[in-house]
Amino acid sequence: MFNKQKRPFWQLSSVFAVIVVLVLALSWSNPSEKVSQMDASMADMMSQELLGSATVPDLFNPGTMDSPEALSGNGEHAGHHQQAGKLYAIHLITTALLVFALPVILAGALFLAIVWPKPVKRRNSK
């Protein structure tokens, strides 16, 4: 495990270990009360609250599983309908990029999945 070849790896690991200890010490020295109830990840929280009672059709029918906040009009977007500002612009641009890039990525990935194996064989036999 500690052979000489791998020494740089352990050096890098110790740098990270020091950083982790420093950050931990910092966050313990100013305890944040606000997150004390959050001991599950968002994914685990949502799957407990929602997925437990979900059925497969729910995955494809938006609206059938709306959260209490959304139904009472207290959801994320309630109250600020003329969302202007830099953050909103960034959101629009990144979302547009995502929606544009996704089909291209999927098509390209499919292409590579079909074409890749062949050049590899030729490379190896050379």
Partner 1 sequence: MKFDFILHWLWALVFSILALSGIAMAGAKYGWVMQYDIATADIVHRLAAAIYVLLTLIVIIYEMIRILRRDQTRKPWIVFGPSGYGLFTFITTLIFIITGAVIWLFMDSNHAATAFTLWIHEKLTYLAAASVIWHIYMKTHALKWPKKKARRGR
Q: Min. distance of Cβ 29 from ligand HEM in angstroms?
A: 25
| Position among 42, 99, 104, 115 found at the interface with ligand HEM (CB under 6 A) | 42
Q: Do residues 79 and 70 lie in contact, with contact meaning Cβ atoms separated by under 8 Å? A: no
Place of tokens 């959801």: 75
**Rounded Cα gap, residues 36 and 54, in angstroms:** 28
Structure tokens at 22: 């420093």
| Position among 14, 18, 27, 89 found at the interface with partner 1 (CB under 8 A) | 27
The reply on whether position 43 binds ligand HEM by CB under 6 A is: yes
Contacts of 50 (CB under 8 A, 6+ apart): 65, 67
Binding site for partner 1 (CB under 8 A): 5-9, 11-12, 23-24, 26-27, 32, 34-36, 38-47, 49-51, 54, 58-67, 70, 75-77, 87, 90-91, 93-95, 97-99, 101-102, 104-106, 108-109, 111-112, 115-117, 119-120, 122-123, 126
